[in-house]
Amino acid sequence: MARPKSQSKVSSDFLPMSLKEAAQRGWKGLDVIIVTGDAYVDHPAFGAAIIGRVLEDAGFRVGIIAQPRWNSTEDFKKMGKPRLFFAVTAGNTDSMVGNFTPALKPRKKDVYSPDGKIGLRPNRAVVVYSNRIKESYRDVPIIIGGIEASLRRFANYDFWSNKVRQSILADTPADLLVYGMGELQIVEIAKRLDRDDEASNINDIDGTAWKMEVRKWREQKNDFWNYIEVPSYSEVAEDRMVYAKTFRMLYDEQDPVRGRGVVQKHPKTVVIQNKPMRALTQRELDHVYELPFTREAHPSYTEAIPALEIVKFSITTHRGCFGSCSFCAITMHQGRMITSRSIESVVLEAGRLTQMKDFKGVINGVGGPTANMYGMMCKKWDKSGACADRFCLYPEPCPALDTNHKKNIEMLRSLRRIPRISKVFVGYGVRYDLALLDDEYMKELCAHHISGQLRVAPEHCSKRVTDTMRKPRREVFEKFAEKFKDFNRKLDKEQYLVTYLISGHPGCTLEDMIELAEYIRDSGTYTKHVQDFTPTPMTAATCMFYTGIDPFTLEKVYVPRNKEEKRMQRALLQYREPQNYQLVYQALKKSDRMDLVGNAWKCLIGRRKHR
């Protein structure tokens, strides 16, 4: 098993970003060059770093081109021609999400860039990078992956252009698309190309998508008897009900046990997705996170990378999430089944953190997409995968699901026993409906793993909205909040819940937002942690936003699309802020709720003179 090198900050500890650094390793050339829209941070929370280290571990010479200038081919040629392929990713976020706010305004900060600078990542980065690479080296295979490619692998509604776009495979000269967590796929692709296989012939690897000429598809479609064909790009772009039904068909096949391959025709090509790749075994997952990451930004950077500062001393313990929230794409990327690292591997990583010179004794985050799903299993997963006909937690946790936190508690206790570790925090990502089922976990959490505040995400209080979100109803959160308060009282601790809330979600009316504002007033949960819903690729909520249809019930859903209404909804979440007064007043007046304007205790805002 690979072991980390010295933590000293020399370029040879990192994957090379120049031919000079490659020469320091004794390399005359590179097998694979990864092009990423993020700054190069050699930390396992960064996708490009993981893929790079996994390929290196498999024996390949890997280089990184981070945030290349895209107005010419110069930066794409600076490391020469890779022997096998270019691997292209937009980075840890979809480039459109990273570059624009929910109000479609340019962001003022990019946390994945040095000093948070903006403008270092192009819009639609995977398309732009792939085109520049093809201009530079026409005969080198291009493999695309990461969040942007993975979640745009079929025809998808694009919020930023307000239209249905083609699969990203149809928009780029890429040869293959890796979707989901790509370690197994990328190594297999590299091995095939190393054996002189043609990229155009690599079409049988699970967890990849590829394309075929329309004419060839007509001739060979009968050979794809174990694939399902979904409505074409043209059909989903023209009919919103068809789009909704197609989303459900795609959703149902995103399971590595029962999922099938999927085919979707486009005007000039046919996109073929092979069935999902199996999840890594525990041993494989342990090995990935035990690779020699420096956990630092490349020494060529003179300014800090804000995203690294957030996660530098955090530990990923598992992958997957069975929450299936409508606004989240994890189901379509990591999947619903949980794969957990061994406690020994987590402890080993924590021990290595203590050897870093700037470690202060605090691990500031332990978990995965959801912090307390570590070690959880369902007895059905191994043989039949996640259920196609029900959600694991909505409307209630499934009785077949093992929601015991025993392994989680054991792992946290093991971390606390490590010398030089003073605190292990789990301050975010806790699924409160699961925590509510295990008093021992709640006690452990409150006693040892909260730094004064625990951030949880009820998102809303209206049943109509939480049903659309596939989130627990209000009463579940209230029961959790009361139990949290009781445990802290018994422990003589002063700790608080910080809630995350969403405005403008499909299903949410102005009346629902007023209900939420009143709930915030009555429950004392006023917070600045709010966001306006952003329709991101391949989520159920985005399907609802575009079609006005719930893809799981095919019932109509109210969608707040009007910009003014969306602004009013968001303002209601922070009705106390002076700058929001006029929008809150307009919302209350429009909804005939002027009883909430005035000086009475129940009023959200006071009276002012209005134009």
DSSP string, 278-323: PPPPHHHHHHHHTS----EE-TT-SS--HHHHHHTTEEE-EE----
Q: pLDDT band at 610, cuts 50/70/90?
A: low
Integer Cα distance of 418 and 105 in angstroms: 46
253-270 burial code (b ≥16 CB/10 A, e <16): bbbbbbbebbbbbbeebb
- Cα–Cα distance, 130 to 609 (Å, whole number): 57
Q: Both tokens of residue 115?
A: 């000093």
Q: How many other CB atoms are there within 10 angstroms of residue 595's CB atom?
A: 11
Residue 609 banded pLDDT, cuts 50, 70, 90: low
| Second-level CATH architecture of 13-210 | 3-Layer(aba) Sandwich (3.40)
In three-state form (DSSP H/G/I as H, E/B as E, the rest C), the secondary structure along 136-155 is: HCCCCCEEECHHHHHCCCCC
CATH number belonging to the domain at 452-611, selected among 3.30.70.360, 3.40.47.10, 3.30.750.200, 3.40.50.300: 3.30.750.200
| Whole-angstrom distance, CA of residue 129 vs CA of residue 126 | 5
The pLDDT of residue 505 is above 60: yes
* CATH assignment of 313-451, among 3.40.80.10, 2.40.160.40, 3.30.750.210, 2.40.50.140: 3.30.750.210
Cα–Cα distances in angstroms (integers) from residue 323 to residues 84, 336, 501, in the given order: 39, 8, 17
- pLDDT value at position 527? 83
Which residue has tokens 């486009």?
266
The DSSP bridge pattern shows strands 163-165 and 156-158 to be antiparallel
The Cα diameter of the chain in Å comes to: 77
How far apart, in whole angstroms, are the C-alpha atoms of residue 192 and residue 187?
Answer: 9
- Same-fold call for 13-210 versus 452-611: no
Tell me the domain boundaries of the chain.
13-210, 313-451, 452-611
Reported as a single tens digit per residue, the pLDDT across 154-188 is 999 999 999 999 999 999 999 999 999 999 999 99
Q: In this predicted model, what pLDDT tens digit does every residue of 551-579 receive, in sequence order?
A: 999 999 999 999 999 999 999 999 999 99
Determine which helix (DSSP H) or strand (DSSP E) holds 156, and give its type and residue range.
strand 156-158
Calculate the average pLDDT of the chain: 95
Contact yes or no for 574/566 (Cβ under 8 A): no
Instruction: Check residue 186 and give its pLDDT.
Output: 98
Percent of the chain with pLDDT over 90: 95
Amino acid at 386: A
Is residue 4 predicted with pLDDT exceeding 90?
A: no
- Cα 369 from chain centre: 8
- 155 to 201, 236, 502, 537: CA distances (angstroms): 24, 8, 26, 10
DSSP strand pairing (32-36 vs 62-66): parallel
How many whole angstroms from its chain centre is CA 530? 18
Rounded CA-CA distance 439/446 in Å is: 11
Q: Which residue has the tokens 């007064």?
A: 581
CA distances from 37 to 40, 410, 453 (A): 9, 38, 33
Distance spanning both ends of the chain, measured CA to CA: 71
